[in-house]
Structure formats: structure tokens, C-alpha cells
Amino acid sequence: MRAPVPPGVIGHNRSLVSRNYAVLPPDGMFPSFVPWLDKASVFYQATPKLGAGFAQGRLEAVPGGGTVAPREDGLEHFLYVLEGTLDVAADAATAMLEPGGFAYIPAGARYSLRNAGDVLLRAVWISRPYVEAAGIAPPAARFGTRDTTPVTRVDDSGRWRQYLLGNLDMSMDFEMNIMGFDRGTHFHCVETHIMEHGLLMLEGQGLQLLDRDWHEVWTGDFIWMGPFVPQQFYCTGWGGAAYLLYKDVNREVAF
């Protein structure tokens, strides 16, 4: 006998895709299997097909799984471990990352990824073409951890930030920031800006404004915000909330 179909499977899902934003809970997302990964797959959440200027997905690899061979795809990459252990190599630079560990791989590096642990690896994986800035050397590979990245509190607003790849570093064309909220706090305004976002809820829950509509989101949910989407976050529930945020920055308008 097959297990009964749970209620809600047929007609209910919170996934929502609009012209310039998307809300994608993990439920019902499908993996992509690609020739350069072995015993691993990517649950893509944003790609140029959606309208995004970057690709973001969740890499999942069973123990020993990862890239088949060192790979050079001309893209820059960011990885952030959610669960498990990830071995990363970018040319001669190497690191073993545990949950909260992250890597920046510059465009042009030959890189390898491997689940070095004995449980399933889950990691955020962002890729995009690098946009050079005249007279500024491109960034080198770098590794770090959330635990050792300074936490900056925003005055007495109850909000805090961690700049994983720095802030206002003109060699970088994107930032990866963790935005944190104490219980019951929110931004000081509804933001509207040219930069786009890939947002992954790391902890807690809240209400996310996208254009004119509020969406209830919680740990594990993904949101893509295209350029100029009015946005606001309000932390709900009995505890704080935090999300990992991709933001393209520091470059001129492209015509």
C-alpha cells in the first residue's frame, strides 16, 4: 500500500513567481543534475531565465560527491555551507568549510568542490560573470566563517549585519551580507534600489514586503528580488530572524 497523499499536495504551495520577484519555499523544488557534478545536484532558485543577473541554488552532495574534475567556467562563485562539510579548492587556495563557512572563488580560477564529511552536504551556491572596474585588480579567492565575521549593530534599531565579503570593496561586484533582526524589529523604510537580491532565510520568520504585497516567510525560504522592487522586512514570531543576502554593487549602469 502506498502512503496516503498528505493534505495540501494537490492544490497548495507557497511558491510564487512574478515579473520581478519570486518567493520559493523548498517544498516541491526540483534538483538539476549536470555532467560536471557526481553524486551531487543543484536546486536552482534564481537564474537568468527567471530574470536574475546571477544564478543561485542549493548544492546538495552525498559523502564523496562534488565536481567530477577541477572546473574553469569563467564565472565567479560564492559558497556558504548550511549543513555538512565542504572541501573547496580554487587554484592553489584550499579550505574545509563547516556550517557557516564560506568561500569566494574568482572568475578564471580552476575550482573543485567535494563533500568531505559523512552526512549530506547542503550549501548555497551563487555564480555570475565578473564585471571588471577599470584600474582595480580583481579580487583573489577568500574563505571565512560566519562565526568570525564581525557583527555590526545598526544604532539601537534592533538590527545587525555581517558583511561576509566586505563592504564598499570596489574590487567586488557583489556583496554577501547576513541581515539580522531582533524580535519585532523592521527596516526604517521601504527600500527601492537598482540592486537585486537573492535572499535565503537562515533563521526565524517574518513578513516580507515585495512591491505591494506582504508574504509570510520562514527558515529555508528563498526570495529573488529584481531591481527596483519595493521591499521591507518585519521580524515576527517569538525570536529573532536572519537572512543571507546577495546584492550586486559597486558598478555603473549598463546600457
Closer CB to ligand UGY, residue 64 or residue 237? Answer: 237
245 lies in the site for ligand UGY, by CB under 6 A: yes
Q: Which set of grid coordinates corresponds to residue 139?
A: 579580487
Binding string to ligand UGY for residues 149 to 188, with x set by CB under 6 A, is what? ------------------------------x---------
Closer CB to ligand UGY, residue 36 or residue 214? Answer: 214
CA 100, CA 223: separation in Å to the nearest integer? 20
Closer CB to ligand UGY, residue 75 or residue 223? Answer: 223
CA 236, CA 234: separation in Å to the nearest integer? 6
Of 51-59, 104-112, 170-178, 183-191, which segment contacts Mn ion by CB under 5 A? 183-191
Interface residue with ligand UGY, options 60, 197, 235, 241 (CB under 6 A): 197
CA 223, CA 95: separation in Å to the nearest integer? 29
37 to 45, 114, 164, 190: CA distances (angstroms): 18, 10, 26, 40
191 lies in the site for Mn ion, by CB under 5 A: yes
CA 180, CA 229: separation in Å to the nearest integer? 20
Interface residue with ligand UGY, options 191, 207, 219, 230 (CB under 6 A): 191
Q: Which set of grid coordinates corresponds to residue 55?
A: 544564478
Q: Least distance in Å: CB of 191 to Mn ion?
A: 5
Rg (CA), the chain: 18
Give the side-chain half-sphere CA count within 13 A for 201.
Answer: 24
Q: Least distance in Å: CB of 50 to Mn ion?
A: 18
8-state DSSP, 12: -
Q: Return residues touching Mn ion (CB under 5 A).
A: 191
Q: Return residues touching ligand UGY (CB under 6 A).
A: 179, 191, 197, 231, 233, 245, 247
